[in-house]
Amino acid sequence: MDQPYITGKTRLYGLVGDPLTAAKSPQLLNKLFIEQHVEAACVPFWVKAENLPGFVSGARAMDNLSGMLVTMPHKQRMLAFVDELDPTARQVGALNVIRCEPDGRWIGAIFDGVGCVLGMQWEGNHPANKSVLLVGSGGAGSAIAFAVAAAGASNLTISDVDERRAADLADAVTAETGCIVHSGPPDPHGFEVVINATPLGMKPTDAMPVDPGRLAPGTIVVDIINAAEPTPLRRAAHARGCRTQDGGPMHQGQAVHALKFLGFDYCPEGRSAPGGPA
């Protein structure tokens, strides 16, 4: 079977965000459904922020909706619309996947952080015992902060245009993980790993999240933006002799965790499952 076979019994999964022009999750899930002979389909739901309450009201009425992946800008706002939070979402204060239970309950979780760390491990960029600068403390950034600290970073600095939000996140991560975490400016000098968890780089006119001239050769630079072409940050970092990684491995890593949460077994070809060899 080369295409999903849609019937009246087909289970529906969605990807909710704005915009979704670069989204790859529907392709990934529909390929998985075909391979595993699951009568299900994943479709994009392009929902603007002001329309989110109306969308949720309509989605709640669909008895064949089994789950949703949630992306920008809804990861934090969607918290108000679920019935229960997985510990990952309670810790971070955001979600990126919802499991719709047969009894009507929606359970939210977030796997951006563990997905980012798993992707880094796959690429040989494990953050353990390294000094890390994380730029961005929104939904994805918060999840990455907890996961990087839990993965054994020697120290972590969180930078955000909202300095209070960065400071509050640093305090929460310290209390939860025991890692040495501070908030500070987005100066990459002296760090072994730099992670961009902001949207800066999605548009060619965006400012750089960090000054690439302050990057030392050999620094690991992870830009979680999943784009076909290298972002300006990655191009500049590569020119400085840095080791760079795009958002692809993180996207695959979080898919492994999210699909397990939704009840599916998945691991990209050539990759190891979480807990396996890095």
Catalytic residues: 75
* 45 within 8 A of 69, measured Cβ to Cβ: no
Residues 158 and 134 sit within 8 Å (Cβ to Cβ): yes
At 211, which amino acid appears? D
Q: How many CA atoms lie within 13 A of 276 on its CB side?
A: 10
CA neighbours closer than 13 Å in the CB half-sphere of residue 15: 22
Distance CA 160, CA 220 (A): 20
254, 112 in Cβ contact below 8 A? yes
Q: What whole-number distance in Å separates Cα of residue 165 and Cα of residue 99?
A: 28
CA distances to 49, 151, 200, 218, 251 from 110, in Å:
19, 16, 21, 31, 12
Q: What does DSSP assign to residue 225? A: -
